[in-house]
Structure 1
């Protein structure tokens, strides 16, 4: 049973938000395979008395279309898992009509073992694998998303939102302050909500697409940062709805514009010394730095199904349109899939530019770290760095979800690192989603095939 004063265990920003007010409701949430918040809401007094509750573990077998995949694990019985609150994740839900907080929960089975298909547990497993070697991975994600006009008919293409000027947001205005000002009220609410939720924003800027925004987070612990992205995505959608528009994290919502990425910056710290293992005492790059890159080059194709989890994800990888098409690496080179940003020695890092913003943040970060770990473990040598325009090279990543799933199902080392059962369930869910997509006849097919073939 939770203590009646459980709020004393929550972060300071929660207590500040509730100062002088009575808490009405607590949202008990977990992230499913798609990164959707699942759980229960209950009166605050009930939450204080309960301490844990149950949800069927089968929520991790639900597809994005609402169907249920069968991984052959007797899922028809839908056994419950036990959820207990991680009080450190308590955050305000400032968009609600009453005083509400949300709490991310830990998930174990009825024997006390972590639920191996839960995305948050998958990421913890990868982080623990690093820790067993005396390493602590550090990540810094970038979030890209589009603000779009309300779109209630899926057959109609999306449009940019109307700005304060009375015109729709324009494309090709990267880094424009005026473009950000066009939808300033949404950005203001994002800032206000983030402050109430204790979410730190490193910066907001206009990206290359019409109504496309990039939000940067400061570096830190992978699980904590994934928790924050999980909360950010829900919060940003709510902020947009307040201003009669949508926020979408779909990888490619507009046909002729760039897609939205979740670039992930990685470094690794030696837990004994606190030193970034990518540089030595003199500030020069170490073999570990190159091995991490080598591991990403070797294994990222096998985890594309996690970094680009939907059929739409692969529409983002277009030559000369901001997203990489191969796994070359280069210094300060945004045409490569793996970029080494300009930095001082202490901040030496590798940026994975492959992941889409539509990926589950827990799984995207876990998959990316898993590739780097395998490179460190196996001392994998990378290809020579690429100094030119990597778009001049042939594409070298899977171009569709079906191919990506084939590679994932063949990647024994990656599947073992993430967890074999998780990998089996994930593949089953994605196969079902892909099958559902193939049943839909598109306008392109009707336009070009109906009377011509």
Structure 2
């Protein structure tokens, strides 16, 4: 007999457990880094509990496992209340037993959404759109590398060995033969995604050695952030089955392109479902230009969320297919803000700045927040860039410290994302940056040890 709560889950989850005994349920939330935190329990226990508890300190943990100081003062670690969102229930098809994962909503003990929980930050931004009668639509692209197993951090990352017995080659963008080199991993990604009820719009070989891109269909920002959160684990598990790693680092291999999470944005009216970027004649609207202007004005303050680690800024270099500017252009991939070719009802803006290492909830929230502020402030963007935007002046911060300073200085972004969240994010990231600055790199040892 199946548990009663299964009826509230998506059909893919119901199909996965149909005719089988559900053994375990993973109760999870995304922390600041986008890492899954929570607890696993027998399905029989899960069925008899309506809520679960985790300390709020999970949002103060850094990527190294350290703890940032609590900006609000005492580090008393009060429990938060976790309530299952059954619409997010999905299979964990790589496990030995029958397991479901469920993302949980996070509230305090008075029932209020915890403002520092990344999923709640994204919900906050979506709600700002809703209050204006708008509904944001996004379509993310996920880039990542398949790499050889690396168990010694002192050793450089290497491309994976393909079925031909040769390591994956770079500069083979869109090559079907290159994808076939690690086809078994791709097959498992498809199989896992199907079991989890996720629809992949396409898979292609990117420009780096072992670099893959997966495109997702457009839709609701929270639902798609949930998918990316799940996809990162899914892809890692598929790679491990075939003796390699999947990495979402922004720049894992020296001399290779970085991995981006390009985000396509459009906005529709809640009442009529029409794209507010196009008028009835199919022409670009003032709202379209306002959205672009908001991104140009506020993205510098959002970079710390789109590029959250010291490694992220290694991606922002010329001639590596990464944006180093805030120019906009139609069908121009050298601009940070690209307007793809589309029909009027699908008119959209692609933000090419976000790295794949960002927390998907925070990356989408930050990007949408910039567009929202543009719609509200109703300013005009700079003139369209018609040439090579790589030749323009750099406009992005050069490192995480500078990016955090820009975030701290932007009052509008602090207001829309939430002052309490910004304070916690700053504490976590400054802790990570301070720790990084204490590490002596091989470059320093090679060039400074005997020469200075």
- Using structure 2 for the length normalisation, give the TM-score: 0.99
Relative to structure 1, the CA distance from residue 12 to residue 157 in structure 2 (aligned partners, 3 Å threshold; closer, same or farther) is same
How far apart are the structure 1 equivalents of 2:254 and 2:410? 32
Relative to structure 1, the CA distance from residue 75 to residue 5 in structure 2 (aligned partners, 3 Å threshold; closer, same or farther) is farther
How far apart are the structure 2 equivalents of 1:120 and 1:323? 27
* Residue equivalent to 2:83: 84
Q: Extract unaligned runs of 5+ from structure 1.
A: none
Q: Extract unaligned runs of 5+ from structure 2.
A: none
TM superposition shift of 1:74? 3.4
1:328-371 residue CA offsets vs partner (Å, 9 max, x unmatched): 00000000000000000010000000000000000000000000
* Residue equivalent to 1:249: 248
Q: How many residue pairs get matched? A: 451
- RMSD of aligned Cα (Å): 0.8
- Using structure 1 for the length normalisation, give the TM-score: 0.99
5 Å-filtered alignment, 1:54-453, equals 54-453=53-452
Range that drifts further, 61-70 or 188-197: 61-70
TM superposition shift of 1:4? 4.2
How far apart are the structure 2 equivalents of 1:321 and 1:102? 37
Asked if the contact 1:165/1:182 (under 8 Å) is kept, the reply is: yes
Range that drifts further, 394-403 or 277-286: 394-403
Asked if the contact 2:23/2:98 (under 8 Å) is kept, the reply is: yes
Asked if the contact 2:173/2:206 (under 8 Å) is kept, the reply is: yes
1:27 is paired with a residue whose SS is strand
TM superposition shift of 1:17? 1.0
How far apart are the structure 1 equivalents of 2:9 and 2:407? 39
How far apart are the structure 1 equivalents of 2:270 and 2:134? 5
Relative to structure 1, the CA distance from residue 75 to residue 45 in structure 2 (aligned partners, 3 Å threshold; closer, same or farther) is farther
TM superposition shift of 1:75? 4.5
Asked if the contact 1:26/1:100 (under 8 Å) is kept, the reply is: yes
How far apart are the structure 1 equivalents of 2:42 and 2:371? 43
2:274 is paired with a residue whose SS is coil
Asked if the contact 1:296/1:375 (under 8 Å) is kept, the reply is: yes
* Residue equivalent to 1:33: 32
* Residue equivalent to 1:46: 45
1:384-412 residue CA offsets vs partner (Å, 9 max, x unmatched): 00010011112111111010000001111
Asked if the contact 1:58/1:75 (under 8 Å) is kept, the reply is: no
1:181-211 residue CA offsets vs partner (Å, 9 max, x unmatched): 0000000000000000001100000000000
TM superposition shift of 1:19? 1.4
Asked if the contact 2:201/2:214 (under 8 Å) is kept, the reply is: yes
Q: Which runs of 4+ in 1 moved over 4 A?
A: none
TM superposition shift of 1:71? 3.0
How far apart are the structure 2 equivalents of 1:271 and 1:230? 27
How far apart are the structure 2 equivalents of 1:71 and 1:452? 42
Asked if the contact 2:276/2:285 (under 8 Å) is kept, the reply is: yes
1:154 is paired with a residue whose SS is coil
